[in-house]
Amino acid sequence: MLRRHARAACTALAAAGMVLAGPQTGSAGAAQPSPGTAPAVQSAARALGTAEARPELLAAMGRDLGLTRTQAERRLVNEAEAGATAARLRDRLAGSFAGAWVAGAESGSLTVATTRAADLAAIREAGATARLVRHDLSDLERAKEALDRAAGADAPVRYVDVRANVLVVEEVRAGAGARLAAATGVPRELVRVVRSDAAPRPLYDIRGGDAYYMGGGGRCSVGFAVTRGTTQGFATAGHCGRAGQSTSGYNQVAQGTFQASVFPGSDMAWVAANSSWTSTPYVKGAGGANVQVTGSVLQTVGSSVCRSGSTTGWHCGTIQQHNTSVTYPEGTISGVTRTTVCAEPGDSGGSYISGSQAQGVTSGGSGNCSSGGTTFFQPLNPILSNYGLTLKTGGTDPGPGPGEPEPGGTWKAGTVYAAGATVTYGGSTYRCLQGHQAQSGWEPPNVPALWQRV
């Protein structure tokens, strides 16, 4: 197995090989475009390239902010112009500047606050709404810095709310905010304490090919990010760890626990992550770039396949044989796939992917990535099926096909189907042509490459 031990790489080789353990209204003085027309590109918007916003960004803005595409485009232009206007006013107002903010569905209104009445006319002349407040931004930020130096987990979040002209402290334990202000000498009038039930935590991504470390020593690689209900986690090689063993991530931060593991016989396992980690539909590719995973269709012999591992990175080759049996010093495993891809200790558990289709997790092999070698992977679909896992995938849902019958039958998203399996859907029977995990958008009538009507 290609599992990297903490102190030294495993060097024992089996006979068969080694197991691889300003807004358009108010801020910049620009005219509001008529509904349904593209916004005029102004100076700041042009400089920031708002016209080149990707369709997926605009679509996400529409989904999450309740905007049409035209509104999303206008909002980006307005925010670029507002930022430029606010920056110029901050420079002009100097110590009296008390913050700026945009408002409205299209960010069409810019407000700039000041502590000096003499500034109001200049703010309005710049096309923004003027607000006179008591505390300038510099004073509030200095007070925040004092709180930051003394804050603990009982008051985990602190920020300047420029709209309210106050320093906000979120406390998870009653009285923590007041005690923090008193201990630092920050005037109580500057502070608003807000009770919160949520304590922030760091968030990390689970990505195929990244390193993880086993409690008790050793390093392996993430295979593929998965979910089981609301639990995030990843599939990996069974020889990397046993059920109950803890893991830490590529950054040595506590990550999760092995839930199940089989080795020898097979070489499969999965790790349930803690709430700081989130599954992503990616494998670490060449140069660290993300390679998207869209499914788990097992490719045919002779197909190209690439492997990602935490020791040797990204390497490619071809699939030689499926359903191979190999005997390691620890015992025999069956059902693995033989490839021409090289691997080395520490790559164990890492991702094998063909195009965007997940293939399996690195098990073992012989040779190295200097002279070449042969490596075996444990196919992913049996891992998903055995443990009730759902592969984390990305991509576009193709939606229902033309003339598709009403859904119904035995086909179910999340189920792993082997070649030859039959299902019913929409009153018809279909035979699986290629093993895969079913997902929304891959209903049998939609994907003739995967299902044949019989």
Active site residues: 239, 267, 348
114-153 burial, b at 16+ Cβ within 10 Å, e below that, comes to bbeeebeebbeebbbbbbebebbbebbeebbebbeeebee
DSSP 151-213: --TTS-EEEEETTTTEEEEEESSTTHHHHHHHHHT--GGGEEEEE-S------EEEEET-EEE
In single-letter form, the type of residue at position 196 comes to: S
For the chain, the straight-line distance linking the first and the last C-alpha, in angstroms and rounded, comes to: 43
Share in percent of the chain as helix, strand, coil (round to 5): 20, 35, 40
What is the C-alpha to C-alpha distance for residues 334 and 380, in angstroms, rounded to an integer? 14
- Judge residue 205's burial from the number of C-beta atoms within 10 Å of its C-beta, 0-12 exposed, 13-18 middle, 19 or more buried: middle
Using the structure block, give the residue that is written with the tokens 């015992």: 331
Planar angle of CA 100, 168, 126, nearest 5 degrees: 5
The H or E element containing residue 19 is strand 18-19
Contacts of 362 (CB under 8 A, 6+ apart): 2, 20, 221, 223, 237, 307, 309, 343, 347, 348, 349, 350, 351, 352, 375, 377
CB 155 within 8 A of CB 146: no
Cα–Cα distances in angstroms (integers) from residue 154 to residues 159, 180, 197, 198, 414, in the given order: 15, 9, 11, 11, 41
- Helical (H) or strand (E) element with 220: strand 219-221
List C-alpha distances in Å: 172 to 131, 154, 275, 430: 32, 5, 18, 55
Strand order in the sheet with 191-195: 157-161, 166-171, 191-195
**Extended beta strands in 67-183, E state:** 97-103, 109-114, 129-132, 157-161, 166-171
Residue 408 CA to residue 423 CA, distance in Å, equals 10
